[in-house]
């Protein structure tokens, strides 16, 4: 119970609100001394690199580069912004490409063969060249992969090519994540 002699609105801080400061004639309260924050050791801080923009390029953009793009998107979306193109694009993605990737729970819904000119040529950090041709792209580091073209060959050959591309893409993702690319 509050006595009649106690000042109104008294509480922990007294009569005046702390933000208003001391009354005229009252001494100001000194600010509490706070210790300086400890220095942060930057040697243990890892900086996450931005995703690398990777263009996978083959001849028809119907098999190899589509597989590489699909694997990169499935396994390395945190490290790679993947696209694919072809030097002379096919009309459709090879049905066996769809089949082999579907066996690995990867769908190519909405994908189609694209010409190199349909991609933003200047916005690539890496060009993964699976075409077997000599190719360069302004501003992009070129990495050549030696992967046989499976077009026109049987399912077993498509599976071997898919296995090889999957391994190469996984190695690429690891290299990007650890900063060596």
Distance (Å, whole) CA 75 – CA 71: 6
Look up the CATH number of the domain holding residue 130: 3.40.50.2300
Measure CA of the first residue to CA of the last residue in the chain; give whole Å: 73
Pairing of strands 80-86, 141-144: unpaired
Answer yes or no: pTM beyond 0.75: no
The per-residue pLDDT for range 52-66, each reduced to its tens digit, is: 999 999 999 999 999
Per-residue confidence band for 118, with pLDDT thresholds at 50, 70 and 90: confident
CB half-sphere exposure, 161, CA atoms < 13 A: 26
Q: Is 43 among the domain residues?
A: no
Burial label for 180, CB within 10 Å (0-12, 13-18, 19+), is exposed
Question: Is 72 a member of any domain?
Answer: yes
**Which H or E run contains 128?**
strand 126-129
Identify whether the C-beta of residue 155 lies closer than 8 Å to the C-beta of residue 171: no
Q: In what order do the strands lie in the sheet with 141-144?
A: 80-86, 52-58, 126-129, 141-144
Q: CA–CA separation, 55 vs 117, rounded Å?
A: 12
- Tens digit of pLDDT for each residue in 74-116? 999 999 999 999 999 999 999 999 999 999 999 999 999 999 8
Distance CA 51, CA 104 (A): 24
What is the domain range of residue 66? 52-177
Q: What is the mean pLDDT of the chain?
A: 85
Residue 24 lies in a domain: no
Q: Is 108 exposed, middle or buried (0-12, 13-18, 19+ CB in 10 A)?
A: middle
Q: Examine residue 152 and state whether it is found in any structural domain, yes or no.
A: yes
Report the domain count for the chain. 1
CA-to-CA dists, residue 53 to 42, 56, 78, 119, angstroms: 27, 10, 11, 12
Which residues contact residue 16 at a Cβ distance below 8 angstroms, ignoring those fewer than 6 apart?
A: 22, 23
Tell me if 161 is assigned to some domain.
Answer: yes
In a domain, 46, yes or no: no
Residue 162 lies in a domain: yes
Q: Is residue 37 one of the residues assigned to a domain? A: no
95 within 8 A of 109, measured Cβ to Cβ: no
């Amino acid at each position: 119970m509050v006595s009649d002699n106690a000042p109104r609105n008294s509480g922990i801080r007294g009569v005046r609100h702390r933000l208003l400061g001391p009354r005229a004639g009252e001494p100001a309260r000194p600010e509490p001394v706070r210790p300086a924050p400890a220095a942060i050791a930057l040697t243990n801080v890892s900086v996450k690199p931005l995703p690398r923009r990777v263009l996978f390029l083959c001849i028809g953009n119907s098999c190899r580069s589509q597989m590489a793009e699909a694997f990169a998107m499935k396994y390395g979306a945190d490290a790679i912004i993947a696209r694919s193109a072809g030097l002379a694009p096919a009309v459709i993605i090879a049905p066996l490409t769809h089949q082999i990737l579907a066996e690995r729970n990867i769908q190519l819904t909405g994908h189609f063969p694209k010409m190199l000119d349909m991609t933003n040529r200047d916005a690539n950090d890496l060009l993964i060249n699976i075409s077997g041709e000599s190719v360069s792209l302004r501003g992009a580091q070129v990495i050549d992969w030696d992967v046989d073209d499976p077009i026109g060959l049987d399912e077993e050959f498509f599976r071997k090519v898919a296995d090889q591309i999957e391994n190469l893409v996984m190695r690429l993702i690891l290299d990007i994540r650890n900063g060596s690319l």
